[in-house]
Structure 1
Amino acid sequence: MADIPEVTTSSPSEMLAAGRRHLAVRDFSAAAGTLAKACEALAKEHGDTADQCAEAYLWYGKALLGLSREESGVLGDGVAGNGNPEEEDDNEEGADNGEEEQNGEGEQNGENNDEVEKIEAESTTKEEEPGSSTVAEGDGDEPGTSNNGEANEESEADDNEDDVDNLQLAWEMLDLARSILSRRAEEDGGTPARALLADVHLALGEVALESETYDKAVIDMQSCLELQKELYCRDDRRIAETHYQIGLANSLASNFEDAITHFKNAANILETRIKTLENPAAVTEDATVKKFATADPFYSVEGEIKELKELLPEIQEKIQDMMDYKAETIKRVRETLCSANGEGSSHTNGAGSSTSAAKPAADISHLIKRKRKSSEGDAESSAAKRINT
């Protein structure tokens, strides 16, 4: 968990607004701290499962998700702790050189090890002498027999609390928000609750994506997509973003055909959106344009068209990647079948062929994972966010 910064505002609504501002500028640590305070205040005032807490839980969960990504180094090379592939190569070369140096200096190290063993043997003998009072700190007391034992128990309790990482806590907060919003949507059927519920499902899918439970990610994101299709126009960028995220989850699960379908859907929606924006008559009636123009003083139709046209080549590249991976998988399956037929008897019956064909396809998801976690892999997560910007 990140350290919670001091918040000068006392109203939960003000803290919620401040946390969302931090989240908008991707200051996840400050956002998580401020939104944690907002959630605590709302829960204390209304109860843990009150309707008023749902939105705060949603934004707090998103902040924790961003913080978890930041800590794992997924967001970019500029983030502390990010695994730079070039640095990793340097580290591997350094490790190899270190092994060579150790092999070259084996005799010298062997002499040093003999001296260390003699010193340790003498030290052990002294400690075992009767009446010796030299005991390593913390080794002489059993847990629970003294104040040190109590300290050990407190330390273990703190360790258990620290075991809940930001990604797990993000899932818990989002799941709690889903429970509240699902109840609200059933009771009043209002659009605001359902819109927030769609955002919760998408965020839960992103959490599952980070924890590499890709099938669960697809299920959550499909739930989001169904709600969005009921709430928004067919060319809404939020629907395009969800299609892109579902495509990404399917690609990581090696479901290449489904991934291609959703990436194509995302591209088609953006193309339709561009045509709508290029029609002046349609723009005047477009509710989304009015919303963006009201929320963002710097918004312009020309700027959105330019941004969408820049996104399309990235999505097309993903489609081509999936087609390449699919072709490679088919090729490997055929090679496996040919190899199996060559090694077996020359008189293969139908049952034998069926058994060979039932062998699972080669899993090449590791190729996609490597690309996603490289320094260039940030385009996948950033592209999805830019679709809905």
Structure 2
Amino acid sequence: MYGHSCCASFDGRFCVREKEKYEQRVDDELGEVDEDELDLDVSWKMLDVARAIVEKQPEDTIEKVNILAALGEVSMEREDIETSLNDYLKALSILKHLVESDNRRVVELNFRICLVLEVGSKVQEAIPYCEEAISLCHSRLGRLKELEDLQQAMVNPKSIFSEVKEDGCFQVYLWVKEFS
């Protein structure tokens, strides 16, 4: 009738059958969004209960850090910037007392704090956390390089001895030993 073989009536934009399919798709998509929000709410509530349990324990643990970091992530997904930031800051504060300063988790938390601040339009406050993450990465790379060199020396000890022998410090050591 109107050039549409799918239905008998036309409302100017969609034929009735296509319009119903479109409305069903929109309803389904909205249902998925609501389901996702529900999942985030349930996750946040469960993690909040876990936080309440571990905060009753006087000692700081990696478990507490993991829970706070997960809460920070869920809060970020829920677009609750302040809660996310507070949870990440608490997690970082605890973690710094539990691991080496250049631990990858410290780097990760600094980076996540930087992201939260950036999303919250606090770019100037984010910069130090980004710089700290980069600095810690450089430190970690240097330490890993030293460990790699040490491992290589254990595999081939003669090569490291020849390097040390050429070093002026070794010459000073021999000189001191000779006169002691």
User: SS where residue 197 of structure 1 aligns?
Assistant: helix
Out of 41, 52, 64, the residue aligned to residue 168 of structure 1 is 41
2:52 aligned partner? 179
Distance in 1 (CA, whole Å) between partners of 2:36 and 2:116 is 27
Letter in 2 for 1:175: D
Distance in 2 (CA, whole Å) between partners of 1:167 and 1:239 is 25
Describe the superposition over 1:179-234 as per-residue Cα deviations: whole angstroms up to 9, x where unpaired.
Answer: 111112x1xx2x6xx21001111111111111111111111100000000110111
Distance in 1 (CA, whole Å) between partners of 2:62 and 2:76 is 21
1:102 aligned partner? none
2:64 aligned partner? 197
TM-score scaled by length of structure 2: 0.61
User: SS where residue 235 of structure 1 aligns?
Assistant: coil
Provide the aligned length of Structure 1 versus Structure 2.
Answer: 121
Distance in 2 (CA, whole Å) between partners of 1:209 and 1:175 is 14
Does structure 1 residue 238 correspond to structure 2 residue 105? yes
What's the CA shift for 1:163? 9.5
The share of aligned pairs that are identical, in percent, is 28
Letter in 2 for 1:261: P
Letter in 2 for 1:167: L
Give the aligned CA root-mean-square deviation in angstroms: 2.5
Residue ranges of structure 1 left out of the alignment (5+ in a row): 1-107, 111-161, 285-389
Distance in 2 (CA, whole Å) between partners of 1:273 and 1:224 is 20
Distance in 2 (CA, whole Å) between partners of 1:214 and 1:164 is 16
Distance in 2 (CA, whole Å) between partners of 1:176 and 1:283 is 46
Out of 225, 244, 266, the residue aligned to residue 133 of structure 2 is 266
User: SS where residue 100 of structure 2 aligns?
Assistant: coil
Is contact 1:205–1:218 with CA below 8 Å preserved after alignment?
yes
Describe the superposition over 1:98-140 as per-residue Cα deviations: whole angstroms up to 9, x where unpaired.
Answer: xxxxxxxxxx857xxxxxxxxxxxxxxxxxxxxxxxxxxxxxx
User: SS where residue 279 of structure 1 aligns?
Assistant: helix
User: SS where residue 134 of structure 2 aligns?
Assistant: helix
Describe the superposition over 1:79-102 as per-residue Cα deviations: whole angstroms up to 9, x where unpaired.
Answer: xxxxxxxxxxxxxxxxxxxxxxxx
Letter in 2 for 1:240: V
What's the CA shift for 1:280? 2.8
State how 1:135-146 maps to structure 2 within 5 Å.
none
Letter in 2 for 1:201: L
Is contact 1:276–1:282 with CA below 8 Å preserved after alignment?
no
Letter in 1 for 2:45: E
Residue ranges of structure 2 left out of the alignment (5+ in a row): 1-9, 13-34, 152-180
Structure 1 residues 201 and 163, CA gap change in structure 2 (3 angstroms): closer
1:256 aligned partner? 123
| Structure 1 runs of 4+ with >3 Å offset | 281-284
Bigger relative contact order, structure 1 or 2, given CA contacts below 8 A and separation 6+? 1
Distance in 2 (CA, whole Å) between partners of 1:200 and 1:183 is 14
TM-score scaled by length of structure 1: 0.29
